Structure 1
């Protein structure tokens, strides 16, 4: 049991190190040597847990798919409006991507190297498909304007991918309220909401005064 637990901890350590490497370097530039260096292991020891770079990447992609399926099942439930489920999913995934290096790495792997999904669910395609379906249902329920659902889903995924590489405000990405505000602004704009942001109403009044 002690040996199994040690092996499990080592495997988790390698996955974290690989995620750091893939998230920064992408699949093509990441190397097992760099992953081993991040863990303090030899390449030989690393091979004892993962036989190749592709196996490492596949493990991260498989976990991303599991997380997405779990999120979808717990948020898109009977009686919940499609727009509510869509917003909850997008905001939660954005938060998780910000906090979880493994998910960030998996997103980059799924978008940069789709050939890795051979024998695995296509993570990017499945997430895009589910977002398209939620947008379409939200439009049918009257919760969103009739923008092409495929374009809305693509915009959300593009923004999610790009947001990982920028800072919001002087506090940077650690500013959770700024991160949330950016996503709320995008979702409200896509939904056609015209409510003024905090401070805008006063500024508009001054402009007309």
Structure 2
């Protein structure tokens, strides 16, 4: 009996995950207002009635995705903020981890679209973004105190990081730069070099050519 119950729970969990992914794809493509539960259900071959058993409304679906974005920040910090870790490395690890998630996780990307066109959940979204900004502000302060980051206003630096993180998703193809041979994103490498007060590269390259130098 217990095994049957556990199997039922596992099926429900897998179905819920499929629904959230389908909802994220619909929200990302159509926006909150145009998205419908019917479109979400059809995407995974589910009846609308069955979908209601997991999420009773479009708002509840959007809310679940927003809650996941909050957990993304929490889990990234837990993964990088280990005892004894360099504060600057923690900041960069959390930011770059989130950037990587945005590129590969449609459910997280959907929250970017929701942030711009989901007024019914505006307060919840604001709280999530405020918490994320608060996390980054604290990490910037630590990097300034322990890792020699320049004394720029921490909250301003946090805002800048968030603007670039979310803004690059909206940039036209090719404008965000491509990872170099080391796998690093040149836009982020430049930004962190400047923010950390490090020495910028002595040459500037474009189209694989040196276009200027010291």
Distance in 1, Cα, partners of 2:37 & 2:76: 31
Asked whether the equivalents of residues 16 and 54 of structure 2 are also in contact (C-alpha less than 8 Å), the reply is yes
Asked whether the equivalents of residues 61 and 110 of structure 1 are also in contact (C-alpha less than 8 Å), the reply is no
Asked whether the equivalents of residues 60 and 102 of structure 1 are also in contact (C-alpha less than 8 Å), the reply is yes
Deviation of 1:115 after TM superposition, in Å, equals 5.6
The answer to whether residue 200 in structure 2 is matched with residue 189 in structure 1 is no
Query: For the structure 1 residues 5 and 64, does the alpha-carbon distance in structure 2 shift closer, same or farther, using more than 3 Å as the test?
Result: same
Distance in 2, Cα, partners of 1:119 & 1:183: 28
Q: 1:20 aligns with which of 8, 21, 25?
A: 25
Partner residue of 1:124?
Answer: 129
Deviation of 1:68 after TM superposition, in Å, equals 1.5
The answer to whether residue 75 in structure 2 is matched with residue 70 in structure 1 is yes
Query: For the structure 1 residues 169 and 16, does the alpha-carbon distance in structure 2 shift closer, same or farther, using more than 3 Å as the test?
Result: same
1:25-75 Cα deviation digits (max 9, x unpaired):
333332222212322323222112110111111211222222211211221
Structure 2 residue matching 1:78: 3-state secondary structure: coil
Distance in 1, Cα, partners of 2:79 & 2:147: 23
TM-score by length of 2: 0.79
Greater Cα offset, 48-57 or 112-121: 112-121
The answer to whether residue 60 in structure 2 is matched with residue 55 in structure 1 is yes
Query: For the structure 1 residues 102 and 197, does the alpha-carbon distance in structure 2 shift closer, same or farther, using more than 3 Å as the test?
Result: farther
Structure 1 residue matching 2:170: 3-state secondary structure: coil
Greater Cα offset, 68-77 or 12-21: 68-77
The answer to whether residue 92 in structure 2 is matched with residue 87 in structure 1 is yes
Greater Cα offset, 83-92 or 175-184: 175-184
The answer to whether residue 38 in structure 2 is matched with residue 33 in structure 1 is yes
> Which runs of 5 or more structure 1 residues have no equivalent in the other structure?
none
Asked whether the equivalents of residues 58 and 117 of structure 1 are also in contact (C-alpha less than 8 Å), the reply is no
Deviation of 1:123 after TM superposition, in Å, equals 1.9
Asked whether the equivalents of residues 148 and 196 of structure 2 are also in contact (C-alpha less than 8 Å), the reply is yes
The answer to whether residue 14 in structure 2 is matched with residue 9 in structure 1 is yes
Query: For the structure 1 residues 66 and 197, does the alpha-carbon distance in structure 2 shift closer, same or farther, using more than 3 Å as the test?
Result: farther
> Which runs of 5 or more structure 2 residues have no equivalent in the other structure?
none
Asked whether the equivalents of residues 203 and 212 of structure 2 are also in contact (C-alpha less than 8 Å), the reply is no
Partner residue of 1:163?
Answer: 168
Higher helix fraction (1 or 2): 1
Asked whether the equivalents of residues 14 and 35 of structure 1 are also in contact (C-alpha less than 8 Å), the reply is yes
